Amino acid sequence: MPLSVSFTATQSVANPNQITLLDTSTGSDSSITVRRVYIQTAEGTYLTGDGTVDYDLWPLPLATGITLDVLTEATAPNVRVDWMDNNTIVYTDTVLYDFDIQIYLALIGLTQTQLSSPAIVQDTNYYNNKIQLMVNVKDSETAVTYNDDIYLAQSSLDRANYMIENSQYYF
Amino acid sequence: MPSIALTIQIADVSQLLASADVAKGSLFGQKVDPRLPIMLYVENEPLKKIYTADPTYSGLQEIADYVYALCGRYAAKATNIINGGGGGSVAPITPTQNFPIYITSSDFTTATFYPNTRLFGNSIAIFVNELNQYFFEGTGFTVDATGMTVLIPGFDASQYTYNIIIEKVS
């Protein structure tokens, strides 16, 4: 049975800088000797473990997962996996992902602040800004799910990341 | 306080209920903070996302308790709806049959069968004009849930024209 390639990538909640890839391919192909993972941002740069090459090697066998510590903020990259016979690509699969756990954790953090300082919700524009943060992250998910548009997704996350990085002005 | 998973559901339904009340307006509707549906959404969505991704993440129960508190008076109704109690039901109206009924051969679907689901349960007699005679249940016809079957020897609505009166006898 020939190999039918696919994979999933999941962002960790405990360590949101990390993503874990699982190979969900079915079938087999004895010619596959190595897998490579490319994580390309909307700007065209590659996120890699050591930064020396554009990819990370994903060891065989197929069932082996890999965890990569590559995210510094919420990011919507194209994740490409190549199944290779030495240096020749035999199969490839690319999926646009929305790694936005950091934004949700920031929203959770804001709610925790509300628990300890309930009066904060009375601050001018507090809730409007929190809603805007929510809208930005939902926009990025929509851009990935429905538009399959890396630029729309990343620009939405950029707005959300900016609000978090400058939270003293928004919250 | 309910579990995190149940709270997420309660908040979803409470948001819907609150939105409906807000939509009714402040003049005639129930008094409710018009921001409540938005607040519920903004507080519940991150809880839903993180709980789905990692149910063991620290501090989620406190967040869930806060979200539940935000639901306020909608929480009880939302819980009832989630448990299948929402909406209620309307008892169907059983159609009644008025008598007498005037039928002809064209109302029969076979030589002897007249379809009418409302006959069953009534005590009736039929008068066949062409035979100038009353007939009674058991000897002249039978009735079941689907309609009436004429038992009169030689009766054939597919070949002959009959004008029949069905009357209620008690």
The tens digit of pLDDT for each residue in A99-145 reads: 999 999 999 999 999 999 888 888 879 989 999 999 999 999 999 99
Confidence of residue A65 (pLDDT cuts 50, 70, 90): very high
Mean pLDDT of B31-39: 86
Its pTM stands at: 0.72
Give the pLDDT score at B25: 73
Rounded CA-CA distance A104/B139 in Å is 79
Mean pLDDT of B137-150: 93
Handedness of CA B37, B42, B43, B47 (dihedral sign): positive
B89 has a pLDDT exceeding 60: yes
Instruction: Compare all CA atoms of chain B with the CA of A121 and give the residue at the minimum distance.
Output: B39
Give the pLDDT score at A71: 95
> What Å distances lie between residue B38 and A10, B33, B50, CA to CA?
29, 10, 19
Give the pLDDT score at B75: 93
Rounded CA-CA distance B112/B116 in Å is 13
Check A107 against B42: CB less than 8 A apart.
yes
Report residue B113 CA to chain centroid gap.
31
Tell me the chain B residues in contact with residue A127 when contact means C-beta distances shorter than 8 Å.
35, 38-39, 42
Confidence of residue A52 (pLDDT cuts 50, 70, 90): confident
B29 has a pLDDT exceeding 60: no
Give the pLDDT score at B87: 61
Average pLDDT, chain B: 89
Rounded CA-CA distance A70/A18 in Å is 6
Give the pLDDT score at B83: 85
Check A108 against B39: CB less than 8 A apart.
no
Least confident of A11-15, A17-21, B27-31: B27-31
Residues in contact with A50: Cβ distance below 8 Å, sequence separation at least 6, in sequence order: none
B69 at interface of A, judged by CB pairs closer than 8 A: no
Rounded CA-CA distance A150/A40 in Å is 10
Rg (CA), chain B: 32
Long-range contacts of B138-141 (CB under 8 A, 24+ apart): none
Chain A residues in contact with chain B using a Cβ-Cβ cutoff of 8 Å: 10-14, 101, 104-105, 107-108, 111-112, 114-115, 127, 130-131, 134, 138
- Angle between helix A101-116 and helix A150-165 axes, rounded to 10 deg: 30
